[in-house]
Chain A
Amino acid sequence: MAHLDLDPKIIARCRELAKKTASPIEKMIQTHSTVAIERATLRLLGVNGAVLQKGGGGNQTFPEANLIVDKMMQTQSIENGVLHGFVNGMIQKKMPAPELSRAVATGKIDLNTLPRISDTELRLKAKELCQKASEHLLSQREQRDSIRKEVGDSFSVHREQGPLLYVIVATGNIYDDVIQARAAAQVGADAIAVIRSTAQSLLDYVPHGATTEGFGGTYATQENFKIMRAALDEESRKLGRYIRLTNYCSGLCMPEIAALGAMERLDFLLNDAMYGILFRDINMKRTLIDQHFSRLIIALSRIVIHTGEDNYLTTADAIENGHQVLASQFINECFALHAHMKEDLMGLGHAQEMNPEHPNVFLLEIARAQMTRDIFPNAPIKFMPPTRYKCGDIFYSHLMDAMFNFVGVLTGQSIQLLGMATEAMHTPLLQDRWMSIKNAKYIFNGARDLGKDISFKPNGIIQEWSKKVLKDTLEHLEMIERKGLFKAIEERAFAEVKRTETGGKGHDGVFLKGPNYINPFSDLL
């Protein structure tokens, strides 16, 4: 493989700065919890039902996990964790978790008025329940591993046949998604992402059941995960090739989606330490605390995350702001390590989003892609396609995707989200995906070993550009470390977006852990 001459001392210094930046935040994470973490905890214990709510637009169901945690928030009894009240209830009422949650959610039992057992007993029981729950996650992980082994799986950080072919489905109806996903797999897709319905990331609950109506995507629900995973298991067996499933572990329900994804054997989750802050205006603390808990689950279940740095380049100019991407990748790496994730689970994200009319744009794109590869040699790098300069000219767009595929295979990217000729027009049609997969297969095959057969000219355009970006990254990280992450984000350190420490959605769902806080998952995961 051709490599760049990047100074390892600068890279090491960048990692050190990222670590220093993350350190005070990690302390804050340890002392806080959020409503979403508490709900995820309940979900891991099996609280996954929903009850019918009157009013609004007809018959709507609302998750029991939300009703229980909301009640505790209202009665200010959340500070020691939802398990405090809930496990006490399980013991007092001798009910398993789903039964108790139904009774609490329907107002038949009030957890606050029950007699209390001793804290020692409570902790013992809570630990036992959480232990059982993490064993379930482990068995789901083993089942996933065994299917992969059974049908054959070629995925690795450096795959011989080039990047993993990854496509999206987004019909809004999970059953139509299944048709589209199967079709994509049959012509060569290795991984399928079910795009979420717009604005789901801002819902402070996870919708329930199979869904057939979404906007620009399909709701992420436990049942939808199950339906799609079952279809892909079947398709994997038919094709003799394991097909991965991706969903979105971001937004206000990040920890819950991680829990549901782990339970339903998802393979990839979009999960970023800062994406919610920057692009969904979710409160900083909420996002950072939530991402940690979600990554604990992800680490245990060995799900590969995809970080969202590609988005920076859609907001800020991709030529001028490559250093923001790299700086953020270092920070994402740091938070992932803190949550016990190994490098082979860190699908650090970046994208080919430079202005296609810029002179020598492919040299700059190659430099960026290669440096991401070289700086994170053990991470399954996720490479995202052009979107920003795409419009209705599907023919030019198809060509842009071809060049993107070329850069991807040349620089040894691990996971390639294939571009669609109809990007910026509609969610992909069957034929759009077919055309895109054919494009990628042609180029990945034809240029398979090109990266091994070339070297980058010393002091050439590619080498020099990568050195410049690395140098800019170092300066950027120095600035962030000096100011602190919160202040830096306030001053538009990433993606030219400004956010404040107490601003954004979901801030009221953050709380300081009380002296008797219980959540054995923090140690078990």
Chain B
Amino acid sequence: MSGETRVDLKKLKPYGDIMGDGTVQLCFTLPVEPSPEAREAAVQLVQKMGFDPVKVATMEKAADGFALFVIYGNTKFSLDFTKIKVLKIEAKKRSREVIDEIIRTQIGRKLIVLGACTGYDAHTVGIDAIMNMKGFAGDYGLERYKGLDARNLGAQVLNDDLLKLAVQEKADVILVSKVVSQHGIHIKDMKTLVERATKMGLRDKMIFVAGGPRVTHPMALECGFDAGFGVGTKPSEVASFILEEYLNRQAQSQAKTKKRK
């Protein structure tokens, strides 16, 4: 035993109480009655997942024909943490009050945000969580922001209609929520939106943001968006990004104007 208690970032493993123990807690059900066979099946399944040893903390009857397990296992896998790279949204996180204040003092007008579930997507839970007053996880939605004129267009808004409205309303930001992802429909819809926007000369005039359970930031960038947010995103994170992106663009265009002068 080396007695080593410092983390080895080259071989990162889950930690319980001894560095490198690889302890993981698992909870799942198997669609069979609890029985010694069910317990053995759970152990073997968890071993197949790469855990050893495996300790069954409990096997319970969760319903007729369903056994529930709480299991602790020690994983044999480790990872080189120094090699991990993630493409991230770099915007500084700000509170609603701060964002409103910056918009008031530095922009001097409300930013117009149009949000929608596009295509045939009728699943508004994501766009509602971000846009509606209520917000998400105690974080108020964009409608609550004094500095934003946020309008939730709801479900099944076609790309063309969204862009038409964006022109008419002089939108600063387009928020697109994509939940349905069968056959990659979300990617197709997102790409089409940006293509149409580019043709209409809107791509650089507006900020394009996507969100949804299958949306990631790198994937959104690939579709031509400015940012992508996944599950669990809070409205203030989206607002923070919008603000920073807007200010960056404002600074860039001011710099250009100065040069010309």
Contacts and interface: CB of A to CB of B under 8 A. Distances in A.
A496 B132 CA distance: 11
Interface string A352-388: 0001000000000000000000000000000000001
B118 interface: no
A216 B66 CA distance: 23
A403 interface: no
A412 B230 CA distance: 40
Interface string A415-447: 000000000110001110010000000000000
Nearest to A434: B62
Q: Interface size bucket, B side?
A: 20 to 34
B134 interface: yes
Nearest to A423: B137
B114 interface: no
Q: Which of B28, B63, B132 has the most CB of A within 10 A?
A: B63
A390 B232 CA distance: 11
Contact of A314 (B62, B66, B124, B134): B134
Contact of A186 (B63, B132, B232): B63
A187 B155 CA distance: 37
Contacts of A315: 132-134
A404 to B, nearest CB: 16
Contact of A199 (B60, B123, B138): B123
Contacts of B63: 182-184, 186-187, 430, 434
A398 to B, nearest CB: 12
A393 to B, nearest CB: 10
A496 B144 CA distance: 10
A388 B123 contact: no
B190 to A, nearest CB: 18
**Nearest 8 pairs of A and B residues by beta carbon:** A183-B63, A215-B123, A315-B134, A434-B62, A391-B137, A199-B122, A389-B138, A186-B63
A423 to B, nearest CB: 10
B124 A199 contact: yes
Interface residues of A, number: 29
Interface in B170-191: 179-180
Given A186-B63, A198-B122, 15 more contacts: A184-B63, A197-B122, A199-B122, A199-B154, A215-B179, A315-B133, A391-B232, A424-B137, A424-B232, A430-B63, A430-B66, A431-B27, A431-B62, A431-B68, A434-B60
29 contacts: A57-B120, A182-B63, A183-B63, A183-B64, A183-B66, A186-B64, A198-B124, A198-B155, A199-B122, A199-B123, A199-B154, A199-B155, A202-B155, A215-B123, A215-B179, A215-B180, A355-B138, A388-B134, A388-B137, A391-B137, A424-B137, A430-B62, A430-B63, A431-B27, A431-B29, A431-B62, A434-B60, A434-B63, A434-B68
Contact of B137 (A215, A390, A495): A390
B151 to A, nearest CB: 12
A278 to B, nearest CB: 10
A184 B28 CA distance: 16
Interface string B111-146: 000000000101111000000111011100000000
A74 B155 CA distance: 26
Q: Which of B62, B155, B231 has the most CB of A within 10 A?
A: B62
Interface of A: 57, 182-184, 186-187, 197-199, 202, 215-216, 314-315, 355, 388-392, 424-425, 429-431, 434, 495-497
Nearest to A429: B29
Nearest to B70: A431
Interface of B: 27-29, 60, 62-64, 66, 68, 120, 122-125, 132-134, 136-138, 154-155, 179-180, 231-232
Contacts of B137: 388-391, 424
Contacts of B27: 431
A256 B40 CA distance: 51
Q: Which of B123, B133, B134, B155 has the most CB of A within 10 A?
A: B134
A182 B64 contact: yes
Q: Which of A183, A390, A392 has the most CB of B within 10 A?
A: A183
A198 B174 CA distance: 22
A186 B33 CA distance: 13
A390 B66 CA distance: 28
B135 to A, nearest CB: 8
A199 B177 CA distance: 14
A474 to B, nearest CB: 25
A431 B42 CA distance: 15
Nearest to A433: B62
Contacts of B68: 430-431, 434
A175 to B, nearest CB: 14
Nearest to B234: A391
A182 B66 CA distance: 11
Contacts of A430: 29, 62-63, 66, 68
Contacts of A495: 133
Given A202-B154, A434-B68, A497 B133 contact: yes
Nearest to B61: A187
A392 B233 CA distance: 11
A485 B64 CA distance: 50
B232 A198 contact: no
Contacts of A497: 133
A187 B180 contact: no
A392 B122 CA distance: 25
Nearest to B121: A215
A182 B68 CA distance: 16
A202 B153 CA distance: 13
B28 A431 contact: yes
A229 B107 CA distance: 57
A202 B154 CA distance: 10
Contacts of B64: 182-183, 186
